[in-house]
A and B are shown apart, each in its own frame.
Chain A
């Protein structure tokens, strides 16, 4: 049994350990309930929800690529009210067991983010915080545009800050990370989630068509891990707020790289789709690594990378 203290504080969200799950790869939590002990995780981030239901994109929504996958789900969601009706009881019970619930907020415009967040604040007293997804690559009307410039990202955060006194995280687009990180920190963000999937293309060379229903999709998986680690490090040097590192974590070693680069916490994504229990295995491996490092508190390793 490790003696390392694993608890972390992500912008006011107090997690019993640094391992959480990336939005969009863990459903609303209950999908994993019969497959693993979800309550052993530090936090889960639920799939993004908007104020009103979104249908998402047509099929095909997934294509496998070497070392990862691409998706064009397009933030299909039942709307905040549908989400609470469907999953609220389960999530409240999970929160009662000490696993923090971070609800991801989706929108096409600043007004839509605010509207969804207001509903979340009203209907989800058990939510520890909210993650603003300003960087989904599969939403045509806004999404990526909202998170691609410091000004647009900051506008969303400022407006959301005015209606919410619980911790606000920003899911960052994989562009201009240091600039946008500074802008959303100044606008009132409590923490950053770095990074969202990266826009990519996969073409069926026989049909000359995209392997998804849209020309581009979000690339995720271990192939983008080094890019995400670099972006966490860039943001860590640019801001003082904590960071959740996301991108291709398949092992405890991958998670450890994020911690060393400056992430206070990590979120497991594609690995949970391949192996439902991956997040707990990664937690155990991360704890063993911290123990081997000879520290008494995993926070001592945050940003310990030596250039």
Chain B
């Protein structure tokens, strides 16, 4: 029998929940057992109270876990009713979540320098990985993309964690380079020096990053987003088409070997 998901249902309490950029929030929740169990790149499936007609949980990645404080921090974009309700949760409010779910980043031990390519609300799992790289003493550079300066998150945190370079790109040119972060990423990869690439963000961004990594002969992992019902392998709704067939993003991902992904 395949290994069942490590996920459990946990109660949580909101510690803080505030806007950090346009339509992007940071929420800290107290969930001590989860904080001990979760690892970078995994996700949680959150039940957000407040609408009896909206039943499914919301899958969210996280930025960091604090075992001592017994809490985890997640960043999320307000894109629909569920995340809007989440943004209105106040400190002290409680709910449940299911986690940790899925397979996270698996940075090879041989890695000496990594390139992280993150865009939009794909930043959280990549920033979480940056914490791990910092702790492991692995050097890394970052290509960070956003629609505009108003929606840009993570640059300061990546720098704080010791990134060699943080190259910011915005679609409208209001911060950093004007354009997509995949262009500097491709240039940096071709210049060489990386033995690992991690990416999360819009599908076209990840596809281009994976292609550039493949061209440079560098191992690349991507964290994919899919609509998801259960989060632990029961329903088959979140599947990703890979070279090995359909694989559930909740169990075989959300982090995949990018060279295996057929449909982004």
Residues 50 to 81 of chain B near chain A (Cβ within 8 Å): 53-57
Taking a contact as CB atoms under 8 Å apart, the answer to whether A62 and B234 are in contact is no
The verdict on A27 contacting chain B, using a C-beta distance below 8 Å, is: yes
Give the shortest distance, in Å, between B50 (CB) and chain A (any CB).
14
Taking a contact as CB atoms under 8 Å apart, the answer to whether A90 and B239 are in contact is no
What is the count of residue pairs linking A and B with beta-carbon distances less than 8 angstroms? 111
Provide the bound-state CA to CA distance between A59 and B237, in Å.
8
Taking a contact as CB atoms under 8 Å apart, the answer to whether A69 and B229 are in contact is yes
In the complex, the chain A residue whose C-beta lies closest to that of B1 is A90
Taking a contact as CB atoms under 8 Å apart, the answer to whether B236 and A34 are in contact is no
Q: Counting chain A CB atoms within 10 Å of each CB, which of B55, B57, B227, B232 scores highest?
A: B55
In the complex, the chain A residue whose C-beta lies closest to that of B53 is A66
Provide the bound-state CA to CA distance between A59 and B249, in Å.
11
Number of residues from A at the complex interface, CB < 8 A: 41
Q: Give a binary string over B224-240; 1 marks a CB under 8 Å from any A CB, 0 the rest.
A: 00111110111111111
In the complex, the chain A residue whose C-beta lies closest to that of B56 is A64
Q: Counting chain A CB atoms within 10 Å of each CB, which of B47, B98, B235, B245 scores highest?
A: B235
Taking a contact as CB atoms under 8 Å apart, the answer to whether A276 and B55 are in contact is no
CB neighbours (8 Å) of B204 from chain A are none
Taking a contact as CB atoms under 8 Å apart, the answer to whether A35 and B232 are in contact is yes
The verdict on B5 contacting chain A, using a C-beta distance below 8 Å, is: yes
CB neighbours (8 Å) of B233 from chain A are 27, 31
Taking a contact as CB atoms under 8 Å apart, the answer to whether A66 and B4 are in contact is no
Residues 40 to 76 of chain A near chain B (Cβ within 8 Å): 47, 53, 55-56, 58-64, 66-69, 71, 73, 76
CB-based closest 7 A-B pairs: A62-B237, A27-B234, A273-B230, A66-B53, A90-B1, A62-B227, A31-B233
Interface residues of A (CB under 8 A from B): 24-27, 30-35, 47, 53, 55-56, 58-64, 66-69, 71, 73, 76, 86-87, 89-90, 221-222, 270, 272-277
23 A-B residue pairs with CB within 8 Å: A27-B234, A30-B4, A31-B5, A32-B4, A32-B232, A34-B8, A55-B246, A59-B238, A59-B240, A59-B241, A60-B226, A62-B227, A64-B55, A64-B56, A73-B235, A73-B236, A76-B236, A76-B239, A87-B1, A274-B55, A274-B56, A276-B232, A277-B9
